[in-house]
Structure 1
Amino acid sequence: MSLQSAKKSYKAIYTYLLITIALSTVVWLLTLNAGNTGRIGGRIYGYGIMWCPALATYITCKLLKIKFSGLAWQWGKPKYMIWCYFIPLIYALISYLIIWTFGWGGFYNKAFVTQAAHELGWSKLPQSVFIILFFIVEGVIGMFGSMSTALGEEIGWRGFLVPELSNVTSYTKTSVISGVIWAFWHYPLLIFGNYNEGTPPLYGMACFTMMVISISFVFTWFRLKSNSLWTGVMLHASHNLFIQAFFTPITTNTGHTAYFIDEFGVVVPAMCLLLAIYFWTRRREVVNLVTV
């Protein structure tokens, strides 16, 4: 890459990050001011914060005369999308099987299952049958809602930031830098808000940070390999859906469960670290694939 092209990428990265922080700060303050936001506030502010990276990308493109339509909107090869759907499901399933097997959390949360069955009007079904049907319905229909929020972040992180970083540095550094930025972007709500599942703040932040940086190796690999931002959307949506909407709520507390489950316990981040190591060993497969 020429020095001029590198300067353009650095300028794009810095501009994007400054605008993302500025926009996100507004939503952070609104969220923190609301306190315990509840269902309505959580939905509105949740969508708001997750779409800040997308809006920042659009503004950056306009300011720097970059084609917003050139952000790898193409769907790409179906095999990559299939893998991006199933990889989070696989590592989430393995993580929670470990948790349930060692008694760090219990299977299953009868109160959650009963409430969910009542809300869906499926109370007459045997709970074992309901759990299977609920898993299938969430895994199919729930993906549309999950993708609608994940898209906002992924337009920014993998649609814009990752390819710009890959223009000026290696796959490994792109994964680490984008992962650190992505993790830090969550810190205001982790530190001052209620974005945690009950672990001490420092412990939860450490687990969350390890998970985000580790999983960034997977996100970056698929983004560069497929040249499609939709791989990030699929990975992100699948991760959020299966962990937050199924495995965590269906797990019972056996005493210290919060230290092991979800994004703020140790098991899922450990699985993501193993995945990061695996995809790092395949880093040469994505060298110089992106020229945007």
Structure 2
Amino acid sequence: MGTCLTSKFGKIETVKYTLSSKIAYTTVGEAHAYWDTKATFDYDAKLSSTIDTGYSGGGTNWTLSGSRSVGGSIGHATGYSNKGPYFAKQWKVPIRYTKYKKVHYCNGVQRSKWYTIEAGRYDIPGGGSTGKYGKDVRSKDGTKFYDVPKSRTAVVPKGSYFQLSGGRSITWTGAATVYGLTIGASTSYDRDHKQRITAGNGRYKHYIWGLHDKPSGNPGIFLSDWGRPASGGRRADPLGVRGGRRAEGRARPQRRQPVQRHRGERPRQGGRGVVGRVSQRLQHHRPAGEADRGKAAPRSLRGEALGVQGGQQRGVGG
């Protein structure tokens, strides 16, 4: 395969030889859902991505050199829908990459050669996944909202949705690794390729903000948070969790520790619990008119009291 031109220097052509190919799952999108929201990402009908091209002069040391737009119908739909709350992940699709050797000839004489790695079609490997979840990117959501200019923020009303279906996504610099080369990729949004958020009916507002521009501009992606407090300051998480973890500063309930007593120590008079009940029964069994000193309680109760005082977990009744 090649192109041939004729010039004053003679016949010039470049021939492309296929060396090998392999499938790599490549990041093509992501969606975000913080508190009381659901995230959806659709990658349907056709490829709509621009993917870096690899270059090597000798076929061993690879660098990135330009990019290639991949398109064409795939006849399938992939992605995820209604994930959340506290969900944000990238989405990867299987793309076949081909390694080529390209040779430049002039009048049949080889003048130069080089090698490329180029993205091709959507191709599910035998027994493989139609798509895969990529990196967890929840760290982009939440309190980072405070660092964003108000001009890049918006509110999604309760029970409604917002989606990006135009413009271009951000570039994911580590979209895939092919033949040892890490490449980047981006996606063009349209009606078949979109990021979407659906707001619940919770009491707080559902805020979003664009990474590079306002949501109605060309934000690349949009991120998610819940309502800014009226008086400023740090908010308390309404669900008691942040990104699936217990809220900062929210203490776990402490388990009540049993009271340790030494053998021979007199039990507490009255009160609640086993010790108090045993003490009351000892009082009840004292002979009438006798002082405590020198008088022993019934043996069964005496053993009972010693068992409790010694910190042992024995039932009442010896």
TM-score, scaled relative to structure 1: 0.22
Structure 1 or 2: larger helix share? 1
**Structure with larger Rg:** 2
Structure 1 or 2: larger strand share? 2
